[in-house]
Amino acid sequence: MTVAAPERRVAVRRKPAVGTVYRFDGPPGLGLIWNISKTGISMFLSEPAAVGDHLAGWLEVEEGDDMLRVGLRVVHARRIETGDYFVGAAFDRPLSAAEVRPFVAAEVED
């Protein structure tokens, strides 16, 4: 018998809009966002990040004017087979639906 793991997510995760990235103020430079919610993101990085790290930067869509300054706290990180790192991070504050909307592929409900 398989027991399902309890759901830990506090917000619905959504597919990011094409070209959505997290641009760091410093290293590692750029994170390719895998999914996004009102409370955080998961992304691929070329450099490692440690659980508990606080990171500063911008959510942005590479082909457009949408940018949002928001800090992150790393909640999980693991190296993957490609040599990159898969990182989950919580925003330093929950975002509103209006703030998330430019960065998701589908409409965000309020």
Domain ranges, residue 66: 20-102
Task: State residue 18's pLDDT score.
Answer: 87
DSSP the chain: -PPPPPP--SS--BPBPTTEEEEESSTT-EEEEEEE-SSEEEEEESS---TT-EE-EEEEESSSS-EEE--EEEEEEEE-TTS-EEEEEEESSPPPHHHHGGGBSSPPP-
Establish if 34 belongs to a structural domain. yes
For 8-22, 24-38, 91-105, which range has the lowest pLDDT when averaged over its residues? 8-22
Establish if 8 belongs to a structural domain. no
| Pairwise pLDDT comparison (106 vs 104), residue with the higher score | 104
pLDDT digits (tens, 9 = 90+) for 62-84: 888 899 999 999 999 999 999 99
CATH number of the domain within which 49 lies: 2.40.10.220
Task: State residue 7's pLDDT score.
Answer: 45
Measured CA to CA, the distance from residue 84 to residue 29 in angstroms comes to: 13
Tokens representing 2?
């398989």
Tokens representing 33?
């966002």
What is the number of domains present in the chain?
Answer: 1
Instruction: Using CB atoms within 10 Å of the CB of residue 6, give its burial: 0 to 12 exposed, 13 to 18 middle, 19+ buried.
Output: exposed
